[in-house]
Amino acid sequence: MIDIHGVIPALVTPMNPDESINEKELRNQVRRQIAAGVHGLFVFGTNGEFYALSEAEKLRVLEITVEENNGRLPVYAGTGCPGTADTIRLSRECEKRGAGALSVITPYFAALSQKELIAHYEALADSVNLPVILYNIPARTNVSITPDTVEKLSQIPGIAGVKDSSGNFDTILQFIERTDGGFAVLSGNDSLLLWTLQAGGRGGVCGIANLFPRTLVSVYDLWKKGDFEGAKKVQDSIRAIRNCFRLGNPNSIVKMAANLLGHPVGPCRKPFWSDDPAVAEEIGRVLKEHYAGAE
């Protein structure tokens, strides 16, 4: 079992102009994140465009990340699929290739009861030897993991935590209240990182860490030192770039901003990409006005 805590960047999957995976830049980004002091590496999550990658591509991304990481940090792999059998198969393949933990989004598209959800995660936990982190993102899946379900699942060996991207802080609070200290509650919303830590959570899976990893790490470090005001000041500093999410798909906004910052991570796979010059101009303005020198 790994120590699930801190700032875990939800790594984008770098692409070449033809939408093939840019393996060289993926290695660059892994090294960059490690140098910034992050506490783990999370591949092919929502920011990593798991929904647009083939299984073979996911496994290749994991292999590169594990190789470049060379045992320095835990590597989290997003293995959730709509079906239980597919989720188990992909999870086992990731386990073979060196993943340290699994982040498993709820099944999506079809309607799902909480009883069926519990059975899905129980079957997965029984089938792998890695810690399983539940992933709640109802806006994308139309399936919510209730606090009662999280409480029940937290008692199953192998289910080690939950990442909540609902954006509802009360949901995070209930997850913390309903589980013990050995169960890791993580925020999937960067703006709630500090507040999750303050409430008793372990940290966050952060998309903005693709842009400013040291900034996000400093929120955690300052909080850990007891400097809440300092941590809050840094936490508040990411609001301007997060406000750019209103301009389009957040994954596209993060990649566009990374490109503008000099990190050539390329486009998102179509149709989830827009090279609208007006959007790029606004993101560029925000970066210049609010983040000169930030990293």
Q: Tell me which amino acid residue 11 is.
A: L
Map tokens 């909080």 to a residue: 223
Residues in the chain: 295
> Could you list the pLDDT tens digit for every one of the 295 residues in the chain?
799 999 999 999 999 999 999 999 999 999 999 999 999 999 999 999 999 999 999 999 999 999 999 999 999 999 999 999 999 999 999 999 999 999 999 999 988 999 999 999 999 999 999 999 999 999 899 999 999 999 999 999 999 999 999 999 999 999 999 999 899 999 999 999 999 999 999 999 999 999 999 999 999 999 999 999 999 999 999 999 999 999 999 999 999 999 999 999 999 999 999 889 999 999 999 999 999 888 8
* Long-range contacts of 26-31, Cβ-Cβ distance < 8 Å, separation of 24 or more: 26/61, 26/64, 26/65, 26/68, 27/64, 27/68, 28/263, 29/210, 29/263, 29/265, 30/64, 30/65, 30/68, 30/69, 31/68
Residue 270 structure tokens: 């179509």
Measured CA angle at 210 (ends 208, 214), to 5 deg: 80
Of 79, 59, 74, the C-alpha closest to 7 is 74
Residue 31: count other Cβ atoms within 10 Å of its Cβ. 12
Of 49, 182, 169, 29, the C-alpha closest to 105 is 49
pLDDT tens for 180-208 read 989 999 999 999 999 999 999 999 999 99
CB proximity list for 85: less than 8 A, separation 6 or greater: none
Residue 26 structure tokens: 């993926």
The per-residue b/e assignment along 163-191, b for 16 or more CB within 10 angstroms, e otherwise, is bbbbeebebbbbbbebbeeebbbbbbbbb
Catalytic residues, which ones?
A: 135, 163
The architecture in CATH of the region 6-228 reads Alpha-Beta Barrel (3.20)
Mark out the alpha helices in 37-167 (DSSP H runs): 55-69, 84-96, 114-127, 138-141, 147-153
pTM: 0.96
- State the Cα–Cα distance between residues 219 and 197, nearest whole angstrom: 10
